[in-house]
Amino acid sequence: MKNVFVALAILTCQSLSGLAIAEEDYESARWNPLHFKPAINSATNEDCLACHQEIINRTVKSQSPAGVKAADSLAWYQTLSLYEGEQDTFHRRHLVTPLAKEFMNLQCNTCHQGHDPREEAPNPPTATDAGFTLRKTVNPETTCLKCHGKMNYQMMGLPAPWEKSKNMFQTCMACHVAIRTVRHQVNYLNADNIETAAQKNPDVCYGCHGGRAWYRVAYPYPRHAWPGASPQTPDWAKHRPTESEPRFRLNEKTAAK
Ligand code: HEC
Ligand code: HEC
Ligand code: HEC
Ligand code: HEC
Ligand code: HEC
């Protein structure tokens, strides 16, 4: 009799096994070493998507619970020529939209660099930057700001912000066909596609260099030497790196990240 109960219990457990395993696995999945350094450095998108497919599959609701239609509530930047298609999620806009695929090759670990979940915030709290990126493990200063910072028009010698000085120069290429021509040699950008597209639509460059500026500051880009550059380094550039961060360099995919 006892054995029958055990057998029944096992059967019941098995029918609930989805739940039981999900619950047991949740913690080990959450603490999966792929989330943290050093494993995250070499994780592929497929590794992450094995558990996080929802990041790609999830789309925005076509209508809010109160009945506001997504298609009718566009932000100003969503009305520009560079914005295509219906409203979409943050991750899809960076990973799967046609524009994202044409210009970018972002990986999960381009943005998610891992952290120690036990060390999420400095203790005791401090007002100075203690080097913590908090829960979501994405540091905007070394990711977002590169493509969503302000255009540093003063440094470029432009008389006014691009919206005003655009008429004078027409396209960024007026200068950038010869200035800072060694650009975008990083594993998360498709450099050739960017240059080709910019020949047809000059707004392409502005799209990542001021056109979608969610920040009030400009990113201090590395300053690669380019053919024809003056050997003198201007004062503003004295403390700039002369190469992209190692983990993004094209020829150093295997270098320490
Ligand atoms: C074995 C399954 C698994 C793998 C592989 C995995 N994750 Fe997770 N991840 C989880 C689970 C489970 C959670 C917790 C989700 C929750 O609590 O809602 C989580 C949480 C997260 C969070 C949210 C963290 C927070 O504090 O809110 C991020 C970001 C994340 N994962 C990114 C990644 C990235 C990037 C990769 C690949 C390098 C990855 N995950 C690989 C299962 C996984
Ligand atoms: C452009 C940078 C960027 C890329 C690329 C990126 N993420 Fe994220 N991800 C973020 C940011 C920023 C957040 C925090 C969003 C928030 O706080 O709501 C986030 C949040 C998450 C979360 C937790 C919250 C949620 O929205 O469910 C998971 C899980 C996650 N990302 C997984 C991934 C995976 C897997 C990939 C690769 C397929 C990926 N991310 C690629 C920037 C990025
Ligand atoms: C390598 C360049 C690049 C990086 C890094 C980057 N973005 Fe973007 N972002 C883009 C491009 C390009 C688009 C437009 C994509 C499109 O229209 O399909 C975009 C679009 C967006 C949008 C508009 C989404 C929408 O549907 O309206 C938001 C918000 C955004 N990015 C926030 C961020 C944040 C936050 C980060 C850092 C975690 C980040 N981006 C990192 C290039 C980048
Ligand atoms: C009148 C000429 C001119 C025009 C037009 C121009 N730039 Fe520049 N740009 C420069 C100069 C000069 C520099 C700095 C060169 C140096 O490093 O000595 C520069 C630097 C840059 C940098 C690097 C900034 C940094 O902090 O290192 C970016 C990015 C850039 N330009 C993007 C653009 C984009 C995008 C456009 C069009 C929307 C544009 N520029 C239009 C002259 C111009
Ligand atoms: C998809 C986003 C994106 C687009 C589109 C884009 N850029 Fe960039 N640009 C970046 C990022 C990210 C960097 C920093 C790369 C690095 O760290 O080396 C950068 C760096 C630069 C730099 C600094 C070069 C140096 O010395 O390393 C210049 C100049 C520049 N871009 C000009 C342009 C011009 C001109 C165009 C149009 C032909 C353009 N960008 C289009 C994202 C973009």
**CA dist., res. 148 & res. 208, Å (int):** 6
Residue minimizing CA distance to atom 22 of ligand 1 = 136
Give pTM, 2 decimals.
0.91
Q: Domain boundaries in the chain?
A: 158-206+223-252
Residue minimizing CA distance to atom 2 of ligand 3 = 147
Q: Which of 9-13, 131-135, 211-215, 221-225 has the highest mean pLDDT?
A: 221-225
Name the residue of 94, 201, 248 whose CB sits within 8 Å of the most ligand 3 atoms, as the mutation to test its pocket. 94
Query: Would you state the structure tokens that stand for residue 69, as one six-digit string?
Result: 């239609």
CB of 184 closer than 6 A to ligand 5? yes
Q: How confident is the model at residue 81 (pLDDT cuts 50, 70, 90)?
A: confident
CB of 110 closer than 6 A to ligand 2? yes
The better pLDDT of the pair 35, 192 is held by: 192
- Looking at all shown ligands, the one closest to residue 181's CA atom is 5
- Looking at all shown ligands, the one closest to residue 108's CA atom is 2
Percent of the chain with pLDDT over 90: 65
CB of 151 closer than 6 A to ligand 5? no
Percent of the chain with pLDDT over 70: 84
Residue minimizing CA distance to atom 30 of ligand 2 = 55
Atom of ligand 1 minimally distant from the CA of 138: 29
Q: How confident is the model at residue 23 (pLDDT cuts 50, 70, 90)?
A: low
**CA dist., res. 9 & res. 91, Å (int):** 43
What's the pLDDT score for residue 252?
A: 54
Backbone angles phi, psi at 69, to 5 degrees: -80, 135
**Mean model confidence pLDDT for the chain:** 86
What's the pLDDT score for residue 114?
A: 84
Three-state SS string across the chain, please?
Answer: CHHHHHHHHHHHHHHCHHHHHHHHHHHHHHCCHHHCCCHHHHCCHHHHHHHHCHHHHCCCCCECCCCCEHHHCCCHHHHCCCCCCCCCCHHHHHHCCHHHHHHECCCHHHHECCCCCCCCCCCCCCCCCCCCCCCCCECHHHCHHHHHCCCCCCCCCCCCCHHHHHHHHCCCHHHHCCCCCCCCCECCECHHHHHHHHHHCCHHHHHHCCCCCCCCCCCCCCCCCCCCCCCCCCHHHCCCCCCCCHHHEHHHCCCCC
- pLDDT tens digit sequence for 56-70: 999 999 999 999 999
CB of 164 closer than 6 A to ligand 1? no
What's the pLDDT score for residue 229?
A: 96
**Nearest in space to 205 (alpha carbons), one of 219, 222, 193:** 193
Atom of ligand 4 minimally distant from the CA of 169: 5
CB of 88 closer than 6 A to ligand 3? yes
